[in-house]
Amino acid sequence: MNAPSDDSKDTLANEALFSIMFVSVGFSCFIWQSFTTGWMAYKSRKPIVILVFFQAILGVFATFITLLIAFVNLDCTFVSDSITLYMYLSFTATLFLCNMC
C-alpha cells in the first residue's frame, strides 16, 4: 500500500483545523448565549427563559465535549453517555416546562 502524499496530509490537517475553528466559533456563541440568557433568567425568573438558559448551558457542555474529542482521545462510551445525558436533560426540561404551563 502506498503511503499518503504530503499534499493529502496537508489537506487533512487543514480540514481538521477548519473543523476545530468552526466548533470554537459555535462554542463562543453558546457561551455568549449562556451569559445573556442567564442575566435574563435572573431578572425575569420566567420558566421559558430559564429553559432557554438551561438549553444554552447544555449547548456549552455538548460543544465542549466536541472540542475535547479533537484534542484528547476519549472512550466512545464517555461520548455516547454524554450525548445521552444531554438529550435526557433537554427532554426532561422541556417536559417540566410544559407541565408548568
3-state secondary structure of 63: helix
Neighbours of 36 (CB within 10 A): 13
Average pLDDT over residues 34-43: 94
Closest residue by Cα to residue 52 from 69, 70, 66, 40: 40
Report domain extents, the chain: 24-100
3-state secondary structure of 45: coil
Q: What is the pTM of this model?
A: 0.63
Q: What is the pLDDT of residues 75-88, one digit of tens each?
A: 667 667 776 777 77
Place of cell 483545523: 17
Pick the range with the lowest mean pLDDT from 16-20, 50-54, 92-96.
92-96
Question: What percent of the chain has a predicted confidence (pLDDT) above 90?
Answer: 17
